[in-house]
Amino acid sequence: MSEESGLLSIHKPSGVTSFSIVRRVRRVLGVKKVGHCGTLDPLAEGVLLVIFGKATKMQSGLMGMRKVYRSRFTLGIRTNTGDITGSTVEEKPVGDFTEEQFREVLQRFVGEIEQIPPMFSALKHHGRRLYDIARKGGEVERMPRKITIYAIELMGRSAAMFDIRVTCSSGTYIRTLGEDIGARLGCGATMHYLCREKIGPFESGAAIDGGQIESLGRDELFRRSLPLESVADIVSEHNNSGGA
């Protein structure tokens, strides 16, 4: 390994923060410079790319890679956070949609679209995290941002819920996408499950279990990490492919 630099693909479990995973990796590896490539909310699980040493300079290139998420939403309810961790702000009856009607609504969100980031997010406004402002009851204007939804697959649905797999660009908020789908259906929706299944070539099935960071230990984590040169190759390939 070049100067203790590289990348770890870790499956973050639900119930912990992305920063806590970074902190644990830093402690076990004994490396000062450690970061991650895209926050996952505590509710969410899935692939979290943790970079250390000189690999931290490649953060933006890694964050720009295409992502795949699996998520589940409850219809007829809207919360202040967009997921089940929040307080209910609205409840509406759910209409009787046919399978064809439901799929037609989903397809309206495929392509380049504009999305307003949620208040409960890690984005900053004048140096403050939006979620810090939101937790104190505040709200600030957020400008819409262009994102790309490459595909939405309907994995299952019932009268009260729907389950989708989304392939999307960096910067996409899946709970906001679900809320927008719920708004288009006229009944609202809130997310109660999210898994980031893939970032670029990194898949959750091949990731290190986030609950085993300490038990694996320093030497094993280094052994399972991707060396700096390989990380650079992945970023270069991503850039040469136009970000696809």
Question: Which tokens is 218 given?
Answer: 């320093």
Q: Which domains does the chain have, with CATH numbers?
A: 6-64+201-240 (3.30.70), 67-198 (3.30.2350.10)
Per-residue confidence in pLDDT tens, the chain, 244 aa:
446 899 999 999 999 999 999 999 999 999 999 999 999 999 999 999 999 999 999 999 999 999 999 999 999 999 999 999 999 999 999 989 898 999 999 999 999 999 988 767 666 766 777 677 767 676 777 788 999 999 999 999 998 999 999 999 999 999 999 999 999 999 999 999 999 999 999 999 999 999 999 999 999 999 999 999 999 999 998 877 765 5
Query: What pLDDT does residue 119 have?
Result: 67
Question: Which tokens is 38 given?
Answer: 């895209």
- Please, which residues bridge with residue 46 across strands? 12, 196
- 182 three-state secondary structure: helix
Name the strand (E) or helix (H) holding 146.
strand 145-157
**pTM for the structure as a whole:** 0.91
Question: Are the CB atoms for 160 and 73 separated by under 8 Å?
Answer: no
- Non-local (6+) Cβ contacts of 154 within 8 A are 102, 103, 106, 162, 163, 164
- Non-local (6+) Cβ contacts of 139 within 8 A are 119, 133
**How far is Cα 221 from Cα 7, in angstroms, rounded to an integer?**
10
Q: Which residue has the tokens 């380049």?
A: 112
* 3-state SS track over 76-133: CEEECCCECCCCEEEECCCCCCCHHHHHHHHHCCCEEEEECCCCCCCCEECCEEHHHH
**How far is Cα 56 from Cα 204, in angstroms, rounded to an integer?**
21
* Active-site residue list: 41
Query: What pLDDT does residue 184 have?
Result: 96
